[in-house]
Structure 1
Amino acid sequence: MSRQIVLDTETTGLSAQNGDRIIEIGCVELLHRKLTGRNLHFYINPERDSHEDALRVHGISNEFLRDKPKFAAIADELVAYLHDAELIIHNAPFDIGFLNKEMELLGRPPITTLVGGVTDTLVMAKEMFPGKRNSLDALCDRLEVDNSGRTLHGALLDAELLADVYINMTRGQNTLVMDLDSNDQAGGGDEVQQIDLRGFDLPVPRANEVELAAHEALLADLDKSTKGKTLWRRHEPQLAA
């Protein structure tokens, strides 16, 4: 899918089913895997106070949110922005659960019925890095994404960081010439340039006499330590042929 929205939310607590609400939504748009700068960001009046544990995570005070719009006031703009896009979310069930609950309270269909799909980067990370920490901070460190400005959680900042993490995690799915400059797109087309490597005469370096002698000495040592011929030597006649 060519249009993707990296999304993050901050909430009053951990349970949408028990009455917790969204207080912040941050969205970052990718078009053909390129950041467009057409982002979307809302602070939302949740009509309730945040739990103390949540306040320690996001640092957004109840007083700050008092004069912010309620979710009903921003729903149309949010739905129009997300329509038919693929959502990229870290720990997607959490954010999707809150978004769907907000839509339910308005008598509207779930967000998941309005978008083109949802990709959970936490699931991706667990498959790519099994047994390792896969929080957003851990992935930023592992993939060399600068998160030095992240002292507290913030929906837009976290979405921006996740966009960089996602691009780095999926870079291998594209050709080596994926990242072209704007000059390459001067014609206005969206197609990625393909390079036929068959047109290149790639040099094949050969070992010199010193390197061959060192190789033979290493094999002789292996023969001695294993009290027999190494597998490499057994296949030498076939290789020479």
Structure 2
Amino acid sequence: MREIIFDTETTGFDPKKGDRMVEIGCIEMVNRVLTGRTFHAYFNPDRSMPAEAEAVHGLSDTFLSDKPRFHERAEELLEFLADSPLVAHNAGFDFGFLNAELDICGLEAVSTTRMIDTIAIAKVRHPGAKLSLDALCTRYGVDRSHRTKHGALLDAELLAQVYVELTGGRQIGLELAGADESAIADAAATVVVRERVFRPARPHMASAEELERHVRFLESIKSPLWSS
């Protein structure tokens, strides 16, 4: 099964208030294995970058000034996404910005039925735990030491590793990209079942010798409390 793990960087939190997407990073996985195919682009948002947003991802007005507008690469992006399920962390946020940009271009929105939200999965797997990407990387031992700022492609790469762990772990099938569905199913279903050995309960009654020693011990106690 083909899936796309993706992430976006933006000028803010709400496309309805004029915030725009400035970066998108997409990674292709087939049967939960990375294929090496990616789509990555920066976009000129045609507006200034708020300082608080720049502090998060480091994308300045100067850096973005010569980048293409979203509409210039929209068709290329949609071709890469095709009809695959789209995996994102807090997916509603990323879908909101992606569809807002598509709407500006007069293009059809991506259906939210294709959305897979790793936060929703993590809530089920780890109720009450911290669910940020950083927290999940720590939980699953995913190295994020090179992540000094948010970046769409880098975060998608980290999320791909987290997603594999959330949905069964690396043991599902490393090196299985391109294998048929039945082979993947067989790999996922391979479980070593150990036969449980039942042993009879050990006796807990004192032996005659132990009872005799106990009586002699009690007789040796001078003025015991229980005899007063």
Q: Provide, for residues 67-86 of structure 1, a one-character-per-residue CA deviation record: whole Å limited to 9, x for no partner.
A: 00000101000111112100
Contact residue 10 and residue 21 of structure 2 kept, 8 A: yes
1:174-189 pair list within 5 angstroms: 178-179=172-173, 181=175, 189=180
SS in 2 for 1:192: helix
Query: Bigger relative contact order, structure 1 or 2, given CA contacts below 8 A and separation 6+?
Result: 2
Name the amino acid aligned to 2:68. P
What letter matches 1:91 in structure 2?
N
Per the TM alignment, residue 50 of structure 1 is displaced from its structure 2 partner at its CA by: 1.4
In structure 1, the gaps of 5 or more residues are 221-241
Root mean square deviation of aligned Cα:
3.0
> Given the two structures, how large is their TM-score scaled by the length of structure 2?
0.79
2:85 corresponds to: 86
Matches within 5 A, 1:199-210: none
Partner amino acid for 1:192? A
User: What is the CA distance between 1:191 and its match in structure 2?
Assistant: 3.2
2:33 equivalent to 1:34: yes
Equivalent residue number for residue 120 of structure 2: 123
For residues 157-172 of structure 1, what are the structure 2 equivalents within 5 Å? 157-171=154-168
> Separation in 2 of the partners of 1:52 and 1:204?
61
| Structure with the greater alpha carbon radius of gyration | 2
Q: Which one-letter code corresponds to 1:103 in the other structure?
A: L
Does residue 1:103 correspond to 2:94, yes or no?
no
How many matched pairs? 204
Partner of 1:234: none
Name the structure 1 match of 2:142: 145
How far the C-alpha of 1:201 sits from its partner, in A, is 10
Pairwise CA distance, 1:143? 1.2
- What is the distance in 1 between the residues matched to 2:133 and 2:190? 37
Structure 2 unaligned spans of 5+:
207-228
Q: Deviations over 1:52-106 (max 9, x none)?
A: 1111110111100000000010100011111210000100111111111111111
Q: Aligned with 1:151: secondary structure?
A: coil
Identical-pair percentage: 44
Measured against aligned partners, the alpha-carbon deviations of 1:174-208 in whole angstroms (never above 9, x if no partner) come to 9x6x31546x97xx64532638989x996666769
Q: CA 1:138 to 1:107, structure 2 compared with 1: closer, same or farther past 3 Å?
A: same
Runs of 4+ in 1 over 2 A off after TM superposition: 188-191, 193-198, 200-208
CA deviation string 1:5-44 (max 9, x = no partner): 0010000111100101011000010011110000110011
